[in-house]
Structure 1
Amino acid sequence: MMKKNQIKRVSTLFLIAALVLGSSFSAFGQEFQHEQLWSFESVNKKQWTLDKGHKLSTSDVHYKHGQKSLRWDWQKTGAITLNQAIGFVPFNPESEDKSIPSFAVWVYNETPVDDEATFVFGTDETDNCSFKFHLNFKGWRAAWVAFERDMEGLPVATMNRLRIESPQSISKGQLFFDHMFLCINIDSRHHTPDRQVPFVNKGTESHWLIQEEASHMQPDLPAPAELSKDQLAAFRLIEQRFEADILRNQKVNAATVDNLYKQVARYQINRRKGQINGLPVWFGRNAELYIPLADHSIAKLYRENKQDIRSYFDLMLKVATAYANCEEAGLKENLRKMYMDMYDHMLDQGIAFGSGLGTIHHYGYNWRSYYRALFIMRDVLREEGQLQAAIDGLQWFAAIGETFKAPVINGMDMDAFNTQVMGRLASILIMEDTPEKAQYLSCFARWIDNGLLPAPGLNDAFKVDGSAYHHANHYPAYATGGLNGAVRMVYFMSGTPFQVSQLGHETIKKALLTMRFYCNHTQWPISMSGRHPEGKGALHPDHFAILAKAGAPDGSSAIDTELAAAYMRLIPEKKKSSFKDEFLAKGISAEATPNGHITMPYASSSVHRCAEWTASVRGHSRYLWAAEHYLGANLYGRYLAHGQLQIMGGGQPIDNKGSGFVQEGWDWNRFPGTTVINLPIDDLRANILNVDQFSGYEEMLFSDEAFAGGVHANNQNGVYAFILHEHDKYQGSLRARKSWFFFDDQIVCLGSGIENTNSEHPTETILFQNHIGKKDDEVLINGQQAGTGEQESSYAAVNMWMIDNKGNGYYLPSGAVYFHQGMQHSRDESSEKPTKGEFAAAVLQHGKAPQAASYHYCVIPGADVQRMQTVANKPAYEVLQHTEKCHMVYNTATNETGYVFFEAAKDNSTGIIKNTNLPCIALTKESDKELELNITNPDLALYEGPADEIYKDGKRVERSIYSRPWRPAESKTTYLEVELKGKWACNNKVESIIITEEGNTIVKLACKDGLTQQCSFQIID
């Protein structure tokens, strides 16, 4: 029990905090001010015309900005008119700015009315355009309404008045207005329809903005006549798992409650005369209104003032968590009151059913604590008579109605897995035990399962090859967030009537196991870092453990031992973990370090592992962008996917830094493996534009080449290749044909057809660029130490070899080699601040404006002097062809031959493959009587014909990925015909196989998704 003096102390602290903070918002923090922003701290009645019986005044009872709002006491007939130039300028589709002129306002209503106010914009006595604002709410509501798209009528530049007409169904009432912009340019994608303005942004396809549409949907699955024992048991089990996951154990005492009181007091929540008010709470995206006035979003102000919704919800969760853990009745009652004050203030601020807050785009990241807090406090809300309102609000913001219709396309937005699934599940679990709850949960489970299934085209979230998608490409940084929700959903519902399908379960399992293959130890390669090339992105080991507890996909075991073993390897050895204890108790130990080779066509990547090192290579194509750039993100990483070959084998544990990548001082021209034009840093900086209304300020450029992909032989060895053609926005004349042959512990790298017209700057293929660590060995060049400190040298390679400072070997039979070591000066990829660091780098030089240049080198990770001397004297491979049309390498040790036919093979004289009807990549192994053929058409075939490009003055025009109509298209099946030398019988099912008159064999294979087709043959005697 709480003692009286404890209660008194807490109450006194609350009072002191309130007095110190003061009653005015200005004492709390600064607000954005601008002459175009109507804050209504005073009212100039000369600007207004009031019909008879209507009154205007300022009020401090409700306010959204500053300390006052404009109060309108209205009568049944008539209106108020603001006589002020609106400032409307028609949208210009040719403008660089793709935002559209809009009206924005916050409205407070004390009494819900099933009627509407009408906003009419006009010129003198002529009405030009208008919209209706529904008044069926209590509290604050916002409206962002585009003049030309959303309003009725035709807006004109001469508009000079705003008339607000009163509702007609009741005799009188009051409305309050605040934070109004008569005309402000807003991103056309972000106006949010809701119960007040359901006509706004009609037809939006943004999954963030579907609350209004979803709220009218009804489940297409039937509700059971009554709940079964299995369903009731499932409710309890899922609730138990959900709560155990979100509720942190905590010791709660008077000091805990004191601290929470201080934090809650900052919001100055008070009740008077049946009304509640307090510090305004804002969704950070509302600050985007200020961008045209401040040149940037000032959401930082909200965060600094703790006015942002995320901070508010986080505090609600803290209070809820303390309440759930509190054992003293007195303290518990105070926590309950705190929570309900915050909850009621939240509703008053417009975070309630039917409200879109003006915009709610990308809200999920901010709402996560909201869902959790309401679930934890469900019993309190029930006792307060607020449970149904809480359910309504939860299901509105969670857009639960989206799950009520059977999905028609596999997959789900990765952000939904990250930010929505927990909220949607919470909004169902908080319901009373009724048949409707089972109905909702069945729809939800179906939606989750569909979201896990392999998605077509460039849709999120998971692919057949293990890629994890967002922004129309493989994107591990987003995948970790998505997996956070996805693995939990599979686990929460496992072993119940609502569990996901075997295919859905297998798909997410593959995504996880693929991630642990391309990551080393937990970090992914720089080429997969999206717009954050910082070298710190990493998988979450807990995801493996959580999914392991969901059991094997086929239901054969309660624990997935493969995932559990992966977790045991990934988790730090000394870290304590309940998962680790559970798995050890079941006899599960860490897996061996993965070895072998995988291809990831939907990432335009291949990954090879041997011993403890990982080698990853990445290209791009007409389907998959080369790099993602935002304002203030990845400003210099244009060459990330120009064929980057990264060796990760250094560090304890292995990571990007230990393997050579450190951003400070990094030369953004020199990602290992890439072929580039070495540009001054200013020229390399991305020129980021808002190119269309499908996108924001961002850049994701494509090649116009379809050839990019890889092949593997039983996931042991493999070949990757792509045709490089940089976009015309920058160095559009840069072309190259590049390939990598991965044979056990060596990587043969070939390039041909290297050309461009840039006669000012040199073209290079990068061998390595490594940060120099304190314990690194010196670089060896032909067995001689390069020395320490500043070094620079050039070589005409003749069977030359090097070992870099990370222990990786390079064999160079020929070529012009340039080596530099010492301090490098660069810029931060985000802030553009100067950086510096010591690096060692080596490149193959192709000169300025090269034509038909080529290269050949071999990388041997983890090499020593003896190995490199052996390779230089007698390589364990032979380059059979090295032309613009074909790269072909034979590996002696494994008796494998890799083929890259950049163009369909025609009368090929070397190797077993004579002709093909399509460009392809192959890896074969043959003996006198047997042949293994691994082959692919690397074209993802998301569309047919020439590249989907628009040309202006003979050059490709920049367009966003989101404008491409083929983006969700499924990979089309293409039929690859391969003529093999000799007569062969195939042991596999193929489309067709014939023996030609010349005594050769033509096999026809169906290719899809860029995946490897594997066939074995026997000689026909």
Structure 2
Amino acid sequence: MMTYLLKYKFLFLFVLLSIQQSNAQLQKDICEYQVPSNWKAVNGTLKITGQHYKLGKQSFQWKWNKSNAYLQIDDSVLKDVINDPRSTFVFWVYNATPLKDKLHFVFLNGEEEVYKADFALDFNGWRTAWMMYHRDMQKLKEQGINRLRIYAPKSVTKGELFLDQVMLNVNINPRSPMRDQQVPYVNLGGDKAANAHWTSLYKFSQNKGYLLQKESNAAVFNDIDSVQNKYLKLIANPKVNTQNLQQIRTEYDFWNISYNKGVVTGRPIFSVNDIELVDIKLLDSVKKENEKSNIKRYSILMLQVAQAWNNISDKVVKAELEQKFMNLLNHLDDQGWSYGSGMGALHHLGYNMGDFYSACLIMKPVIKKQGQLNRTFNTMNWFSGLGRTLEQPDQFPVSNIDVFNTLLGGMLSSVLILDNVPQKQWYLEHYSKWIGKNIEPNLEITGAFKPDGAVFHHGHLYPAYGVGGYNGLAPIIYVLGRTSFKVEEKAHQSFKENMLMMHYYTNPTRWPLGVAGRHPTGNWRIPDMPFAYMALAGTPDGKQPVDKEMAAVYLLVTKNANTALAKQFSKQGILPAKHPEGHWNLNFGLLDIHRRADWLLTVKAHNRYFVSHESYPRANMFGRYLSYGQVEIAFPESQKNASGFKDLGWDWNRIPGTTTLHVPLNVLRADIKNVDDFSGVEEMLLTDEVFAGGTNLDKQGVFAMKLHGHDKYNMGSFRANKSWFTFDNLLIALGSDINNNIDSYPTETTLFQNYLKDKNEVFQVNGEKNITFPFVLKENLKQDLVVTDNRGITYYVPRNQQVNLYKKTQQSRNQKDLQDTKGNFAGLVLDHGRAPQQKSYEYAIAIKANDGQIEALQNRDKAKPGIYQVLQQDSLVHSVYYAKEKMTGLAIFTSKKHLTDKIIRENSTPCLVLYKENGNQLELSVTDPDLRFYQGKDDTPLNADGTRKEVSIYSRYWFKTPAQPSVVELKINGAWEKTDNSEVYSLTTDKEGNTIVQINCKYGLPSKINIKKR
């Protein structure tokens, strides 16, 4: 369901982050060579053995033969526990005989008990726990410790356990530990944390379901068969066959699986999270192989074995593969990958274990024949978190893209591997309802899909993760489709609209740099197969077996027009979708979208709810300004100059559309930290300004923001009001109140920065052809400037502004900060000087302008009334009139002020308005840009000096509170009345004869009304 490319990119990044964020006390394996002298067995024995091992090749074998037996460990490393709130105790235990009893851990200062913890022994195989001293254990006294005693279970006077990877004091990320059946008290807050979808397996396992089991009938049997057959076809992969056998055998041998007296052993299978505990470089001579011994690699092998078994007929080879698979399954279980085991920490599990579930479903006949069907279902159920679907609907945990991307197939495989039809039916009904509930629009910052069509991850619009969500969800909706288990129509329609919205802001497959998250490469693309699966799922109402709208988008965005599906859709008379035309506001994502013909224009902002950027170590290291008003104009990638971006000498200070402080790269480089216990090592900054958003009417739009730099980079004085008015092929950009007291660097607004593949590419400057390289025009304009760039885009800059138009070779660093880069670029920049006060700007962009439009711009002062007029540009309002459509747009930054607009006289709250006069009628679109996750002043914590503190978005209490509706009140000049019965607005008349319009606004969506003169 997810490309291996995304998997591997994520795995590398996650390991890198884990190493940097953990600050772990890196230790070698002390259970490998000899029993340390500071370990003592009372009423028992302790020795090194190779019978079982979890790390390296050996472990400690502890035998006891009397009651009150215990191990005692005296170690100076324990003295540091009291001073480190992240101190954690980690260990592995192997138990051959399940016991209804517990190990008792007591940490002492001499003979005084300070901490206590228990560990249940009702399992066989390996189990582990990560227990934080200060948070997870029972604390008896406030003092240091120097000793640990591990007491044997009291119910047996004679027994045996094996211990490995015992770490007395490790500093770890507090988000990582998870509770399970052995330690259900660990990290209780994790069930409500941002990563709860990974760490709440124990909580999920406690859910009992809420639907009654229905009797099964022939129709149910047929529907289950339909679901199962379609899903098996998706995961079978007929390309894996006998030709892959040698590769499979070699990979299988790597794991060294063998049996001794019926007990399986083999190479340890690590969780990705184990990297937080041990520096693998410190291991023995097999360290390089052990580094590769992770659950991801193991799961891939299991699926390859299963697919080969499924696709060949040779009985001898088939028997060989059956045995190999069962050996893999048994070793996996023995290693602790079993029901009820949390493996210490398992966040991001879905990215690494996804192939396991498909493998087991394919191999169901073999597993059943070997009598291991129930054990396998339980394991699949546990690790996929299937129990989350059994929660009461009003208690469903908010699911995010990671769940949809990586766990849906695992959950479905867990259900389908069952034999009991009524039970399978019961689970499928819960599963379908859970999916439907979770793909409906979510009103919080957490969650995946928003009312305006934005797809979210990490608290902001993030199509790179949305791709994974679509890849996970769409096939499941198809598999369940046209059966009694299909998702509800409302949910299906909502998900379809969300996918279409990504189609609207990609052209046809690439999305804007401003929403690239930590991947500003320009290379990510919209996926094609989810559109195909949604087409095959039929229309949401179930009336049509093929959704032609989704099929048309598939035909537009697919890389290969000769696929079987492409041919199938074409035979049905479906043509590739045309490029969308219109205007859309994603105010949850603070992305404005304007389209005509084959081009896409977007504007990106940020505010106090949605972060300006996401930077990780070696990912988007210079992306601070990506949401400072980024304007991107994209043509289809098949065209020569589809984008002006190229990470080869790109100046990260000069992102088109943005107003920025132009600083050296070493100053722009992100200073990335782990700022609190809610986050990892990352930078995701919030401003304290709430105003950012847009509205639209009749395919035209207005978008605006109040920009305020972050104190982290001494940009607290950096402010500007910015607005964009998009009419047909025209963008008018205004800036005012540009202020800061920073005189070390210039403040600039960038109009374009274009990569030049050929440095002689043609530009037009005031009508004259220019191919000079290098070239510079740096002056305070005495007359208007009109530049048509190498992409056919015309820029109009009114006089009396300081411009810098250039073509030159630039030196820079790539976005990962890994290497120097170099390239040829052209740029147009407005220079506001150093420490500007009350500066402003105006410019216009005409895309694919004809000669008449360019001439009209050049003679705008003479035109009557001109293409556009700037009506107001100050701290109160930015307002523009577009003559062709008799349309006026207003970005009203303040409230309860007398306005100079001829129609809008006053407003109750800052808002965005677009209105159109048509005889005696007036159409208005109004948006309250404040989504109101909380109200009042900005609540960012302050440092001692009064500057804003950097804190994690995940630490904010309002991260999980829903957006609230509001009422915007406008005073309209003159007497007006309603033309319809819409409940969106109401009208009253004041004593002066003006009209008071009360408009209901919600979720950043435009509220549209139509009134007429009385």
> One fold, TM greater than 0.5?
yes
Deviation at residue 790 of structure 1 after TM alignment: 2.5
Q: Give 2:18's aligned residue.
A: none
Q: Give 1:563's aligned residue.
A: 550
Q: In 2 relative to 1, CA 399–228 (structure 1 residues): closer, same or farther, beyond 3 Å?
A: same
Once residues 370 and 489 of structure 1 are traced to their aligned partners in structure 2, the CA distance between those partners, rounded to angstroms, is: 17
Deviation at residue 231 of structure 1 after TM alignment: 1.8
Letter in 2 for 1:557: Q
**Structure 2, gaps ≥5 residues long:** 1-22, 861-865
Residue 972 of structure 1 is aligned with which of 964, 968, 973? 964
Q: Give 1:777's aligned residue.
A: 761
Q: Secondary structure at the match of 1:203?
A: helix
Residue 386 of structure 1 is aligned with which of 355, 359, 372? 372
Residue 62 in structure 1 maps to residue 52 in structure 2: yes
Once residues 756 and 121 of structure 2 are traced to their aligned partners in structure 1, the CA distance between those partners, rounded to angstroms, is: 66
Residue 720 of structure 1 is aligned with which of 700, 703, 713? 703
Residue 954 of structure 2 is aligned with which of 941, 959, 962? 962
Residue 387 of structure 2 is aligned with which of 401, 407, 410? 401
Q: Give 1:983's aligned residue.
A: 975
Deviation at residue 409 of structure 1 after TM alignment: 6.4
Residue 504 of structure 2 is aligned with which of 514, 517, 520? 517
Letter in 1 for 2:674: N
Q: Give 2:400's aligned residue.
A: 413
Q: Give 2:14's aligned residue.
A: none
Contact residue 802 and residue 810 of structure 1 kept, 8 A: yes
Deviation at residue 693 of structure 1 after TM alignment: 1.2
Higher mean alpha-carbon deviation, 671-680 vs 875-884, is at 875-884
Residue 811 in structure 1 maps to residue 802 in structure 2: no
Once residues 350 and 968 of structure 2 are traced to their aligned partners in structure 1, the CA distance between those partners, rounded to angstroms, is: 44
Q: In 2 relative to 1, CA 686–885 (structure 1 residues): closer, same or farther, beyond 3 Å?
A: same
Name the count of aligned residue pairs: 974
Once residues 582 and 83 of structure 2 are traced to their aligned partners in structure 1, the CA distance between those partners, rounded to angstroms, is: 55
Residue 257 in structure 1 maps to residue 242 in structure 2: no
Q: Give 1:995's aligned residue.
A: 989
Q: Give 1:648's aligned residue.
A: 634
Q: Give 1:1006's aligned residue.
A: 1000
Map Cα deviations across residues 979-1009 of structure 1 (whole Å, 9 max, x no partner): 2222222223244212334332221111111
Residue 332 in structure 1 maps to residue 322 in structure 2: no
Q: Give 1:236's aligned residue.
A: 225
Map Cα deviations across residues 263-283 of structure 1 (whole Å, 9 max, x no partner): 100111111111111111101
Higher mean alpha-carbon deviation, 704-713 vs 858-867, is at 858-867
Contact residue 25 and residue 171 of structure 2 kept, 8 A: no
Deviation at residue 156 of structure 1 after TM alignment: 6.5
Residue 876 in structure 1 maps to residue 886 in structure 2: no
Higher mean alpha-carbon deviation, 301-310 vs 876-885, is at 301-310
Contact residue 704 and residue 723 of structure 2 kept, 8 A: yes
TM-score under structure 1 length normalisation = 0.92
Q: Give 2:95's aligned residue.
A: 109
**Structure 1, gaps ≥5 residues long:** 1-31, 94-98
Deviation at residue 912 of structure 1 after TM alignment: 1.6
Q: Give 1:941's aligned residue.
A: 932
Deviation at residue 864 of structure 1 after TM alignment: 5.9
Map Cα deviations across residues 413-449 of structure 1 (whole Å, 9 max, x no partner): 1111111111111111111133222211111111111
Contact residue 760 and residue 773 of structure 2 kept, 8 A: no
Q: Give 2:438's aligned residue.
A: 451
Q: Secondary structure at the match of 1:580?
A: helix
Q: Secondary structure at the match of 1:39?
A: coil
Q: Give 1:374's aligned residue.
A: 360
Q: In 2 relative to 1, CA 910–164 (structure 1 residues): closer, same or farther, beyond 3 Å?
A: closer
Letter in 1 for 2:986: S
Q: In 2 relative to 1, CA 375–137 (structure 1 residues): closer, same or farther, beyond 3 Å?
A: same
Map Cα deviations across residues 82-116 of structure 1 (whole Å, 9 max, x no partner): 232243424668xxxxx710011111112222212
Map Cα deviations across residues 591-631 of structure 1 (whole Å, 9 max, x no partner): 21111111111011111011111110011111111111122
Q: Secondary structure at the match of 2:276?
A: helix
Map Cα deviations across residues 267-304 of structure 1 (whole Å, 9 max, x no partner): 1111111111111110111111247x99x999x97788
Residue 463 of structure 1 is aligned with which of 445, 450, 461? 450
Letter in 1 for 2:952: S
Letter in 2 for 1:811: Y
Q: Give 1:889's aligned residue.
A: 880
Q: Give 2:778's aligned residue.
A: 794
Q: In 2 relative to 1, CA 210–127 (structure 1 residues): closer, same or farther, beyond 3 Å?
A: same
Once residues 323 and 141 of structure 2 are traced to their aligned partners in structure 1, the CA distance between those partners, rounded to angstroms, is: 49
Letter in 2 for 1:389: R
Q: Secondary structure at the match of 1:699?
A: coil
Letter in 2 for 1:933: L
Q: Give 1:132's aligned residue.
A: 118
Q: Secondary structure at the match of 2:203?
A: helix
Q: Give 2:11's aligned residue.
A: none
Q: Give 1:13's aligned residue.
A: none
Deviation at residue 251 of structure 1 after TM alignment: 6.2
Contact residue 116 and residue 134 of structure 1 kept, 8 A: yes
Contact residue 753 and residue 884 of structure 1 kept, 8 A: yes
Deviation at residue 816 of structure 1 after TM alignment: 0.7
Once residues 160 and 908 of structure 1 are traced to their aligned partners in structure 2, the CA distance between those partners, rounded to angstroms, is: 72
Q: Secondary structure at the match of 2:268?
A: coil
Letter in 1 for 2:930: D
Once residues 706 and 61 of structure 2 are traced to their aligned partners in structure 1, the CA distance between those partners, rounded to angstroms, is: 65
Once residues 779 and 852 of structure 2 are traced to their aligned partners in structure 1, the CA distance between those partners, rounded to angstroms, is: 22
Q: Secondary structure at the match of 2:275?
A: helix
Once residues 876 and 525 of structure 1 are traced to their aligned partners in structure 2, the CA distance between those partners, rounded to angstroms, is: 28
Q: Give 1:46's aligned residue.
A: 37
Q: Secondary structure at the match of 2:188?
A: coil
Contact residue 371 and residue 422 of structure 1 kept, 8 A: yes
Deviation at residue 575 of structure 1 after TM alignment: 3.3
Once residues 650 and 866 of structure 1 are traced to their aligned partners in structure 2, the CA distance between those partners, rounded to angstroms, is: 25
Q: In 2 relative to 1, CA 301–865 (structure 1 residues): closer, same or farther, beyond 3 Å?
A: farther
Letter in 2 for 1:286: D
Letter in 1 for 2:953: I
Letter in 1 for 2:785: M
Contact residue 675 and residue 951 of structure 2 kept, 8 A: yes
Contact residue 627 and residue 701 of structure 1 kept, 8 A: yes
Letter in 2 for 1:281: I
Map Cα deviations across residues 133-160 of structure 1 (whole Å, 9 max, x no partner): 1111111111111111111234777422
Q: Give 2:620's aligned residue.
A: 634
Within a 5 Å distance, the mapping from 1:693-842 to structure 2 comes to 693-714=677-698, 716-730=699-713, 731-774=715-758, 777-797=761-781, 798-814=783-799, 815-842=801-828
The sequence identity of aligned pairs, in percent, is 36
Within a 5 Å distance, the mapping from 1:656-675 to structure 2 comes to 658-675=642-659
Contact residue 86 and residue 159 of structure 1 kept, 8 A: no
CA RMSD across the alignment: 2.2
Once residues 286 and 916 of structure 1 are traced to their aligned partners in structure 2, the CA distance between those partners, rounded to angstroms, is: 57
Q: Secondary structure at the match of 1:458?
A: coil
Residue 85 in structure 1 maps to residue 76 in structure 2: yes
Once residues 302 and 473 of structure 1 are traced to their aligned partners in structure 2, the CA distance between those partners, rounded to angstroms, is: 38
Residue 351 in structure 1 maps to residue 351 in structure 2: no
Q: In 2 relative to 1, CA 932–35 (structure 1 residues): closer, same or farther, beyond 3 Å?
A: closer
Within a 5 Å distance, the mapping from 1:547-586 to structure 2 comes to 547-572=534-559, 574-586=560-572
Residue 433 of structure 1 is aligned with which of 409, 420, 424? 420
Residue 182 in structure 1 maps to residue 165 in structure 2: no
Q: In 2 relative to 1, CA 385–1009 (structure 1 residues): closer, same or farther, beyond 3 Å?
A: same
Deviation at residue 163 of structure 1 after TM alignment: 1.6
Residue 1018 in structure 1 maps to residue 1007 in structure 2: no
Q: Give 2:894's aligned residue.
A: 903
Q: Give 2:210's aligned residue.
A: 220
Once residues 572 and 200 of structure 2 are traced to their aligned partners in structure 1, the CA distance between those partners, rounded to angstroms, is: 45
Q: In 2 relative to 1, CA 42–33 (structure 1 residues): closer, same or farther, beyond 3 Å?
A: farther
Deviation at residue 633 of structure 1 after TM alignment: 1.6
Once residues 516 and 92 of structure 1 are traced to their aligned partners in structure 2, the CA distance between those partners, rounded to angstroms, is: 53
